[in-house]
Structure 1
């Protein structure tokens, strides 16, 4: 199961700054999701957040487990960055 609640991520600066806001996303086991949209709408940002490549600016809940307990995404993100060389775009 995947549940995201109140997730926010801002990127860029000045007039090129934009924010991705995910009020709620819920997928049950076995469900599939296609992420489509025009260039610059936040597709890659969403995938980077889900892969823990980026840390959210604000996250009410990141839940990747079947249990009803939210995960500490900041702790997971820090742990995932140890010994990792990120792809630069």
Structure 2
């Protein structure tokens, strides 16, 4: 929930955000570069910053109508 809350707050400020799960490939380099204690475990990193001009994602047209993309189980059950 903290990740979601922080992501939402950063986006509201106009920053671009993504979460990268690329460990353990970079663990040693991260520990060395930022003096991170060796007993800490990198789960993910949240990268954020000002998006480049023209890189903001636009609305993507949906190929199927909502009724075909969303299924609610038990919605039509009469009790």
Shared fold per TM-score greater than 0.5? no
- TM-score, normalisation: structure 2: 0.22
Which has the higher Rg, Structure 1 or Structure 2?
2
Higher strand share: 1
**Higher relative helix content:** 2
